[in-house]
Amino acid sequence: MRIILLGPPGAGKGTQAKFISEKFGIPHISTGDIFMRNISEGTELGRKAKNYIDQGLLVPDEVTIDLVMNRLEQNDVKEGYLLDGFPRTVHQGDVLCRMISESGQMLDAALLIDVPSSYIKERMPGRRICKFCGSSYHLQFNPPDEEGLCDHCGHELVQRRDDHVEAVEERLKVYEEQTMPLIDYFEKKKLLVRIDGTREIEEVTREIVEKLRALEKNE
């Protein structure tokens, strides 16, 4: 399956992506995670992305599109993938859809995890991520088994660099202005699948899996 995950910052894209990727056996590609890893490793890509990310702005299309197009040429994504956080502009959507149709493939769904901004502002201060593997936790809604440590790899949990109030406000604004037009875009292509992301994590997962299984049956 080829799936896109849409939704505001903090909607739960990364949280749900882990389950979807495992259940459907498709690689999870998060542009945000790739940028964050490159920033902590001090690479050229990280240097290009850092200032934008710290301010809550989008990394320019020319950097992001090249990154994703190169990633989608690798062997492990031949049978499918889950894109988390890409596309985020209509231009990115156009490039992706063109690439998919030119290679004779199909996109199965654009999953929108819908969460109003009032929820997001409450959720963000409690998020903690693993410094090493990027897994996402929440102090209240999704705590790790052992306080401050990642369940998967045991490394330290930290607050994300762009989870401070100003950057969250900016990310929500950028989402409304630049990413929300993609909802209409994929609705017109009859690919949009809406998920209510305000419910508990397990309930959201259940609905996503049900809807994706139904799509698989119709293929």
CA distances for 163 relative to 158, 187, 207, angstroms: 11, 30, 27
Residues 76-105 that bind ligand AP5 (CB under 6 A): 85-86, 88, 92
Residue pair 92/64 in contact by the 8 Å Cβ criterion: yes
Instruction: Name the packing angle between helices 90-102 and 181-188 (round to 10°).
Output: 30
Q: Is 188 a catalytic residue?
A: no
In a 3-state reduction of DSSP, which class is residue 73? coil
Tell me how far apart the alpha carbons of residues 100 and 94 are, in angstroms, rounded to a whole number. 10
Per-residue contact track with Mg ion, 10 to 49, x per CB under 5 A? ---xx-----------------------------------
Active site includes 13? yes
By CB under 6 A, which span of 71-79, 122-130, 144-152, 186-194 interacts with ligand AP5?
122-130
Backbone angles phi, psi at 159, to 5 degrees: -85, 145
Per the CB < 8 A criterion, the answer to whether 125 and 137 are in contact is no
Contact map string, positions 180 to 209, toward ligand AP5, x by CB under 6 A: -----------------x--xx--x-----
141 belongs to the binding site for ligand AP5 (CB under 6 A) = yes
Instruction: Give the pairing of strands 109-114 and 81-84.
Output: unpaired
Site string for ligand AP5, 35-54 (x = CB under 6 A): x----------------xx-
Residues that bind ligand AP5 (CB under 6 A): 7, 9-15, 30-32, 35, 52-53, 56-59, 64, 85-86, 88, 92, 123, 126-127, 136-138, 141-142, 162, 171, 197, 200-201, 204
Query: So which residues are the catalytic ones?
Result: 13, 88, 127, 160, 171
